[in-house]
Amino acid sequence: EVQLVQSGAEVKKPGESLKISCKGSGYSFTSYWIGWVRQMPGKGLEWMGIIYPGDSDTRYSPSFQGQVTISADKSISTAYLQWSSLKASDTAMYYCARRSTLGAAADYWGQGTLVTVSS
């Protein structure tokens, strides 16, 4: 069974750093792109970027380039999303999702990680 399991909710202060994770299982982790999606409170889905764990090829949406870093450790089948200096506007739910070979759709999703940034 394919599963993406994300790390737990985080409460941080502005200016702090953070790294959240997404562990894949039940499939060949290195053979599928993993993307990250932001959903701000009460808002829609925003694609942040994507990584191919097989060779760490990473691509960012323009709105998120330079704001976050996406990485992966294929030895433990885990993808990461990190911030060096959080802002209150980073408060959101973050989902990881596997990009299928079927039309590049996101066929499996993590359960989401809620990040709250507040002073």
Binding site for other proteins (CB under 8 A): 35, 37, 44-47, 49-50, 59-62, 95, 97, 100, 102-107, 109-112
Cβ neighbours around 89 below 10 Å, total = 10
Cβ closer to other proteins: 50 or 86? 50
Cβ closer to other proteins: 18 or 106? 106
> Are residues 112 and 47 in contact, defined by beta-carbon separation less than 8 angstroms?
no
- The residue whose two tokens read 């709105």 is 63
Cβ closer to other proteins: 16 or 55? 55
Q: How far is the CB of 81 from other proteins (least distance, A)?
A: 15
Give the type of residue at 61.
S
Q: How far is the CB of 39 from other proteins (least distance, A)?
A: 9
Count Cα neighbours of 74 within 13 Å in the Cβ-side half-sphere.
Answer: 14
Q: 3-state SS of 64-87? A: CCCCCEEEEEHHHCEEEEEECCCC
Q: What are the structure tokens assigned to 43, written together? A: 């808002």
Cβ closer to other proteins: 81 or 97? 97
Q: How far is the CB of 110 from other proteins (least distance, A)?
A: 7
Q: How far is the CB of 93 from other proteins (least distance, A)?
A: 9
